[in-house]
């Protein structure tokens, strides 16, 4: 079978390998679709410090069930989460599940950009394989993981009732965050993004206002108008550019929160007036990844109609053209969310 592999020199290659088989407690899934995430792009660029496995937003049909798996069947349409916490360590006991030391050691094999992939027993046993409702199409299913990341972040920052929110960076995950904040009761949601295509997707999804951050002072002016000069309850940095973090610190209200949500560039530093942050009581909260309960919750929101995902998938490109998919996903002016499709896509 074929799968997208990150070579040691940082190049993306479509290579052959034996088809995986399901061991005890495991399942094998035939790929229908897997989204190209910003972290996948950073891995190819060599800017991400974790393991080089590509693809963590996969959906497909179960092709094989290992011994001992009783609640999943061949033919089930599923989403498979790539990482699960141990639920036993001190970090998990304190609720910081995605920072569990063993979290990143569990992963689908050989990754989400494969004609078929194996889900390890730890993931299956901890509920990380989610049956998709018939109303959830493959493209929407591939967006459940980044939507789950948004929900995990919102839980970490403890979003206030009727909060004012500004999302800096309306790429696919920033768009999902903005839509989810709106669905969960935010009173005003704004955002900044250089790509007109993505600003349009935000406004189509009910976001109150978007601005081009290249327009000097546009972000601050938009927030001042919306909050009568107080600043937003929550500023979300959904991009990895360090300069955006500094801009975000200036639009948060006294006692408000700045959420570091997008992947920062390796080696980047925060340059901000720390005394100002101290005196205004601004909290800086990082959020990383998601867990299977939050993915299940966003699935419920999609099924209920409270969260729209389908229209965010702008391009669907077959696995044999994976390089084209990555090239397109790296051009924000031309694409919103790019999804790579596999052999089960038409089923």
Residue 198 lies in a domain: yes
CATH number, domain containing residue 71: 3.90.180.10
Q: Are residues 118 and 28 in the same domain?
A: yes
Structural domain contains residue 171: yes
Whether residue 335 sits in one domain with residue 265: no
Beta strands in the chain (DSSP E): 2-6, 12-16, 27-35, 58-65, 77-80, 116-119, 129-131, 164-168, 188-192, 209-211, 232-237, 252-260, 283-286, 313-318, 337-341
State percent of the chain over pLDDT 90: 89
Whether 111 and 163 share a structural domain: no
Residue 104 has pLDDT above 70, yes or no: yes
Residue 45: how many other CB atoms lie within 10 Å: 12
DSSP SS3 for 44: helix
User: Is it the case that residue 51 has pLDDT exceeding 80?
Assistant: no
pLDDT at 69: 98
Residues 134 and 158 in one domain: no
Confidence label for 223 from pLDDT (cuts 50, 70 and 90): very high
> What pLDDT was estimated at residue 182?
97
Q: Is residue 77 part of a domain?
A: yes
Question: Domain range spanning residue 12?
Answer: 2-143+309-341
Judge whether residue 253 has pLDDT over 70. yes
Q: 18 and 39 in one domain? A: yes
Closest CA to 18 of 115, 106, 113, 124: 115
Q: What is each CA distance from 298 to 5, 184, 303, in whole angstroms?
A: 29, 11, 9
The DSSP line for 56-81 is: --EEEEEEEE-TT--S--TT-EEEE-
In what side-by-side order are the strands of the sheet with 283-286?
209-211, 188-192, 164-168, 232-237, 252-260, 283-286
What is the end-to-end Cα distance of the chain in Å, rounded? 18
187 and 315, same domain (yes or no): no
Residue 117 sits in the same domain as residue 188? no
We report the CATH number of the domain holding residue 261 as: 3.40.50.720
In a domain, residue 181? The reply is yes
**pLDDT for 122-169, tens place per residue?**
999 999 999 999 999 999 999 999 999 999 999 999 999 999 999 999
Which has more pLDDT, 272 or 320?
320
Question: Is the same domain home to 314 and 240?
Answer: no
347, part of any domain: no
| Rounded CA separation 237/234 (Å) | 10
Closest-CA residue to 256 (of 276, 238, 272, 241)? 276
- The answer, yes or no, to whether residue 46 has pLDDT greater than 80, is no
pLDDT bracket for residue 49 (50, 70, 90): low
Pairing of strands 232-237, 252-260: parallel
* Whether residue 88 has pLDDT greater than 60: yes
State whether 154 and 134 are in the same domain.
no
Residue 298 placed within a domain: no
pLDDT at residue 48 in the model: 65
**Which value, in Å, is the radius of gyration of the alpha carbons in the chain?**
20
Assigned domain for 193 exists: yes
How many Å apart are CA 43 and CA 62, to the nearest integer?
28
Instruction: Using the predicted structure, report yes or no on whether residue 78 has a pLDDT greater than 80.
Output: yes
Asked whether the predicted pLDDT for residue 260 surpasses 80, the reply is: yes
Residues 120, 210 within the same domain = no
Asked if 34 and 67 sit in the same domain, the reply is: yes
| pLDDT single digits (tens) 227-248 | 999 999 999 999 988 889 999 9
Position 299 in a domain = no
Can you tell me whether residue 278 is helix, strand or coil? helix
Same domain assignment for residues 31 and 96 = yes
The contacts found for 214-218 with CB under 8 angstroms, 24 or more apart, are 218/192
pTM over 0.75: yes
Dist. CA 42–CA 261, nearest whole Å: 15
Residue 52: predicted pLDDT = 76
Report the DSSP pairing between strands 116-119 and 129-131: unpaired
Model confidence pLDDT, tens digit, residues 301-317: 999 999 999 999 999 99
The count of structural domains within the chain is: 2
Does residue 47 register a pLDDT over 80?
no
Say what the pLDDT of residue 45 is: 83
Q: Is the peptide bond before 110 cis (omega within 30 degrees of 0)?
A: yes
């Amino acid at each position: 079978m074929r799968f997208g592999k990150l070579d040691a020199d940082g190049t993306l290659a479509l290579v052959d390998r034996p088809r995986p088989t399901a061991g005890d407690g495991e399942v094998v899934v035939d790929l229908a679709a897997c989204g190209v995430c910003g972290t996948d792009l950073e891995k190819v660029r060599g800017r991400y410090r974790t393991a080089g496995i590509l693809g963590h937003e996969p959906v497909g049909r179960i092709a094989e069930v290992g011994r001992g798996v009783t609640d999943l069947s061949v033919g089930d349409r599923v989403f498979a989460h790539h990482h699960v916490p141990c639920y036993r360590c001190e970090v998990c006991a304190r609720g910081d599940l995605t920072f569990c030391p063993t979290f990143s050691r569990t992963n689908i094999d050989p990754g989400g950009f494969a004609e078929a992939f194996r889900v390890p027993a730890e993931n299956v046993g901890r509920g990380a394989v989610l049956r998709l409702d018939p109303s959830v199409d493959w493209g929407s299913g591939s967006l459940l993981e980044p939507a789950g990341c948004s929900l995990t972040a919102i839980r970490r920052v403890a979003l206030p009732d009727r909060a004012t929110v500004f999302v800096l960076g309306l790429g696919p995950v920033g768009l999902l965050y903005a839509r989810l904040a709106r669905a969960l009761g935010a009173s005003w949601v704004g955002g900044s993004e250089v790509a007109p295509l993505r600003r349009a997707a935000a406004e189509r999804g009910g976001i109150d206002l978007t601005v081009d951050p290249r327009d000097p002072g546009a972000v601050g002016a938009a927030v001042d108008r919306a909050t009568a000069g107080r600043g937003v309850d929550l500023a979300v940095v959904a991009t990895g550019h360090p300069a955006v973090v500094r801009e975000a610190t200036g639009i948060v209200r006294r006692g408000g929160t700045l959420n570091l949500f997008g992947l920062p560039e390796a080696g980047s530093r925060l340059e901000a007036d720390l005394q100002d942050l101290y005196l205004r009581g601004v909290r800086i909260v990082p959020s990383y990844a998601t867990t299977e309960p939050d993915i299940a919750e966003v699935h419920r929101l999609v099924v209920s109609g409270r969260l729209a995902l389908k229209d965010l998938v702008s391009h669907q490109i077959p696995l044999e053209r994976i390089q084209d998919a990555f090239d397109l996903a790296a051009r924000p002016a031309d694409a919103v969310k790019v999804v790579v499709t596999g052999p089960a896509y038409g089923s």
